[in-house]
């Protein structure tokens, strides 16, 4: 699979690079960014944290705003950030920010016109890791992290493809999308009107049927303007109660939904994942 390197920057003795490639799962060009720490080489491959971003984001938001490189370099962890949806002139879109391009919700769409390109679940779980592990000095140790819509994606993938990952973390996740306006709008379009078809992409619903989970860390700002209407953090806490030996929810007074919040606690998330890589 051919990769086109479209940007690169040296940072904390490692390399941040952006690539474009033709993706089979989404049937369109996709862009991703990777940070390779200074330890990464053919002789010393490193584990990977896959970061899933939120609504309206691209691969660039986390890499430019999160301030993650210093800790990733210290820990010897690569970070991969895919785009949040397929994009292009022939890719279905919507006039609103919360549907279409920039709002893939990490599902495999079943409804036209979305089902031609919007297969972000398959892209993140299967195609992207295969590409990364083929072309870069990384191991098959993988963890997931994400924010908002990406926090939803990280939790759902961690619950439905748990054998592929060692740990999961999320900032301000959309934890119960079948019960919030963002999720209902996206799922109606991508998956159709039958709510039972939505359950496979709802973390709270999946947890109600889970017998075990990966280690999880969730951080939530208490001044988040989306907390009450969109995120469902209290429902998530109740669903995680049977697994409190494996899951922690951290509430932070004064913090909002922005990358100011993420940058304040990203080091703790990377350290959390490093602990389970080392195990």
| Torsion over CA: 202, 208, 214, 215 (sign) | positive
Question: φ, ψ for residue 107 (rounded to 5)?
Answer: -115, 170
Catalytic residues: 148, 224, 257
Question: φ, ψ for residue 219 (rounded to 5)?
Answer: -120, 135
- Cβ 264 vs Cβ 171: under 8 Å: no
Give the separation between CA 79 and CA 216, rounded to whole angstroms. 18
Give the separation between CA 64 and CA 14, rounded to whole angstroms. 15
């Amino acid at each position: 699979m051919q990769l086109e390197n479209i940007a690169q920057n040296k940072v904390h003795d490692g390399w941040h690079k952006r690539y474009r490639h033709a993706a089979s799962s989404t049937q369109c060009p996709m862009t991703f960014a990777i940070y390779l720490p200074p330890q990464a080489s053919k002789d010393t491959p490193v584990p990977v944290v896959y970061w899933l971003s939120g609504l309206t984001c691209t691969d660039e938001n986390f890499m430019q705003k999160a301030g993650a490189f210093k800790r990733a370099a210290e820990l010897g962890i690569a970070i991969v950030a895919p785009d949040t949806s397929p994009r292009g002139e022939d890719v279905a879109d919507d006039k609103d920010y919360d549907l279409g391009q920039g709002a893939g919700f990490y599902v495999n769409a079943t409804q036209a016109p979305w089902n031609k390109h919007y297969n972000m679940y398959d892209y993140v779980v299967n195609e992207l890791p295969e590409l990364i592990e083929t072309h870069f000095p990384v191991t098959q140790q993988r963890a997931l992290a994400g924010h908002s819509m990406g926090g939803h994606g990280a939790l759902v993938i961690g619950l439905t493809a748990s054998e592929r990952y060692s740990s999961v973390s999320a900032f301000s996740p959309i934890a119960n999308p079948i019960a919030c306006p963002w999720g209902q709008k996206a799922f109606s379009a991508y998956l159709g009107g039958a709510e039972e078809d939505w359950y496979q992409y709802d973390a709270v619903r999946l947890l109600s049927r889970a017998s075990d989970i990966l280690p999880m860390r969730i951080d939530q700002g208490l001044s988040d303007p989306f907390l009450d209407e969109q995120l469902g953090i209290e429902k998530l806490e109740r669903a995680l109660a049977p697994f409190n030996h494996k899951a922690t929810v951290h509430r932070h007074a004064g913090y909002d939904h922005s990358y100011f919040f993420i940058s304040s606690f990203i080091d703790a998330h990377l350290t959390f994942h490093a602990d389970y890589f080392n195990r």
